[in-house]
A and B are shown apart, each in its own frame.
Chain A
Amino acid sequence: MNQPADAILSLVLLSILFSFGSSRLPSLIKAVAFQGIVVSLVPLFVGHELTAGGVIFTQVTLLIRGILIPLCIYMAIKKVRIRREVEPIVGYHASMLAGLALIVAAIAFSRKFDLPGIGQYALLLPTAIALLVAGMFLLMARRNAIAMVLGYITMENGIYLVGATFSVRAQHIVEFGILLDVLAGVMIMAVILQNIKQTLDDVDTALLRTLKE
């Protein structure tokens, strides 16, 4: 653990564990917000030398990923006032153990790949894989619609990690566009959440079962 980047990446992994274990939505949002902040710091320490534009871009990313998006979700749950916890499809203890297994698997899996330029960051690829899979896990293992949105955000964080560190190709303007798209997507989801609450009086997705074959 000599690289500051690796210390930061292990914090990201830790945030995955916390997001898997937190049964209350505010703490889940905090875990994902923390994750967003830490993930957007990674490009400062990994690989390619930064331009002034790059630093500003990192700050904007941090602002949107770490603060704006979680705040948006937080406002949504404040408005819908969720009282009871919805029992998840996979329990919290099992989720936590699954999270540990996921990290081990991600590390084992990433040994197979050899990427030029970032080989010395032992945790980079495992963290990216773990974030992606963790996001999908949250999407599948939680019934609560807000937890599903947070799973989507976790996935996006993973993709950002891949995009921002593996390659320098995408210019900042394009990355910014991606970021705005994600932000708008989350906002629309938050609006839908409020409407779901108004219409169905809960955000349990089990209630969303009328349309099916």
Chain B
Amino acid sequence: MVELVFIVPLVAGALAFFMLGRSGRPLLVLTGAVHLALSVYLWVKRPEALFPDYFGVTPEGLLSLIVISLLFFLISIYTQTYLARSAIQSENIFTGSMLLFLSTMTMVTLSDHIMVMWIAIEATTLASAPLIYTHRSAASLEATWKYVLICSVGIALALLGSVLITVAMDVGGVESALSFSSLTEKARGLDPTWLKVGFVFILVGYGTKMGLAPMHTWLPDAHSEAPSPASALLSGVLLNCAYLGIFKTHKIMVAAGLGGFSGMILIVFGLLSILAAATFILRQTEYKRLLAYSSIENMGIIAFGTGVGGLGAYGAILCLIHHSLIKSSLFLTSGNLLLGFGGRLISDTGNLIKEMPRTFVAFFAGFAGISGIPPFGIFIGELFIILGAFRAGHYVAVGLFLLSLCVIFGGFAHHAMRISFEESPKTVEMKESITLVWPQYGLLLTSLILCFWIPDTLYQTIIQAVTIIGGGF
């Protein structure tokens, strides 16, 4: 039953490759709807997997799954109009890859076996590579090449890390299934040296995919070259999937009593990413790259929060959910900008409030949300992370953290004001149809609602996910 959630889009994706012309578009929405229904079912029932050795329903997996599902459904609606408005060659490859991408990401959230997790994450790279190359230009080719090569090498290191964890089992004499859940239970027996080495490799490996600095170099290229719906998926969900791998390994580390070691590394990588993003956001000239660097920043924040633990871990999960919702809405909005203004540079745009009023609402609300302005969830998440870091006594780290956030806010605000209010080089003659803005509104509204009212089942799931790493209040 559990496996059905990724088998459905897999089959649909395979089918979509053979559907010529526009016939694949309804399939995208249909699969999105079925997937959402199945995910909600999983959330409510939490059934056992058919192959419990390999797959399982875990709280952190469910959180990611429900976000993926919701996002994909809304993005698929947006994609209908986007595809109609933009010229994309061989649409069947695009829709097929989108569905396969969904399938592999779902597999990541549901996998419990260390190696199956690796297979799934590597598969997400392969499924998403054609998406980045959709525009068939030299620049998109370069972005795809970088993406595939850097991520494959990174993930190869994660494979090595996974293998080293099995070595830690051998050396420590632990008899257990090679799944995250059972390893977390028996973590005390694992050999600490090999476990540490394994964690470092896994962090570097999956960290590459998650966009942690200094392994982030592929991310801005890939996000800016992919068509907007694909960028929204890449940024909103793919990064979460990679994070899931790190999070689960971190759980093993904490259970083995090595939480201090892994937490410290996470904090360092998190801060590095935030600092890197702060440096690059200031002098950014393309709006999609701007958003990509903002993703790097948020991944840094999430890694930082996870490393801090306690209240910070709870905040990190909040950030994770809200970042997915808000950032994917922003990437969809950037698709509108591209359709309207016809250029990727910030200087190509301007006076959004007059030219495209509906898009402006989505853009500005998204900007406010991602920058951590109060009514949106990222504010609360960051607040928890800072509180948690203070409680844990990381004063210097918090100082750096706050400083970078201020710089990023300043840089982002500067660019956002430029896009929204300054003179536009040309007038936009694009009709803002409902499907081009309402998916964003839906995502932002979800984030807004979750900020004021968290359903008890969601709250319980988050707490279940973070208790092992000492999260919660």
Contacts and interface: CB of A to CB of B under 8 A. Distances in A.
Interface of A: 115-117, 132, 136, 139, 145, 148-149, 152, 155-156, 159, 162-163, 166-167, 169-170, 174-175, 177-178, 181, 184-185, 188-189, 192, 195-196, 199-200, 208, 210-211, 213
A76 B240 CA distance: 34
Contact of A166 (B142, B145, B163): B163
How many chain B residues sit at the interface, stated as a range, is 35 or more
A169 B164 CA distance: 11
A148 B153 CA distance: 10
Nearest to A166: B167
A167 B153 contact: no
Given A185-B125, A200-B138, A167 B145 contact: no
B141 A156 contact: no
Interface of B: 54, 113, 115-116, 118-119, 122-123, 125-126, 129, 133, 138-139, 141-146, 148-149, 152-153, 156, 159-160, 163-164, 166-167, 169-171, 178, 220-221, 224-225, 280
B171 A185 contact: no
B163 A162 contact: yes
Contacts of B116: 174, 177
Contacts of A139: 149, 153
Contact of A132 (B141, B152, B160, B170): B160
A185 B148 contact: yes
12 contacts: A115-B171, A152-B149, A152-B152, A152-B153, A167-B167, A169-B166, A170-B163, A178-B122, A181-B119, A184-B123, A196-B141, A199-B141
B122 A170 contact: no
Given A166-B166, A174-B115, A184 B159 contact: no
Given A188-B148, A208-B142, 11 more contacts: A132-B160, A152-B149, A163-B159, A166-B170, A167-B163, A167-B167, A175-B115, A185-B152, A200-B141, A211-B143, A213-B220
A155 B163 contact: no
A124 to B, nearest CB: 12
Nearest to B147: A192
Contact of A178 (B115, B138, B178): B115
Contacts of A132: 160
Going nearest first, the 6 A-B pairs with the smallest beta carbon separation are A167-B166, A169-B166, A174-B115, A177-B119, A163-B163, A181-B122
A170 B163 CA distance: 9
A146 to B, nearest CB: 12
Contact of B221 (A148, A177, A178, A211): A211
Contacts of B225: 211
Contacts of A155: 153, 156
Nearest to B163: A163
B178 A169 contact: yes
A208 B145 contact: yes
B282 to A, nearest CB: 11
B310 to A, nearest CB: 33
A156 B155 CA distance: 10
Given A169-B169, A170-B166, A210 B123 contact: no
B249 to A, nearest CB: 16
Nearest to B176: A169
B145 A196 contact: yes
B167 A177 contact: no
B143 to A, nearest CB: 6
Contact of A159 (B113, B148, B159, B170): B159
A76 to B, nearest CB: 13
A213 B280 contact: yes
Contacts of B160: 132, 159, 162
Given A166-B163, A185-B122, A211 B149 contact: no
A117 B167 CA distance: 11
Nearest to A128: B160
A188 B147 CA distance: 12
Q: Which of A162, A169, A200 neighbours the largest number of chain B CB atoms within 10 Å of its CB? A: A169
Nearest to B160: A159
Given A188-B129, A200-B138, A210-B139, A178 B159 contact: yes
A44 B393 CA distance: 53
A211 B141 contact: no
Given A163-B163, A167-B166, A167-B169, A174 B145 contact: no
Given A162-B160, A181-B126, A192-B141, A174 B166 contact: no
A132 B157 CA distance: 9
Contacts of B163: 159, 162-163, 166-167, 170
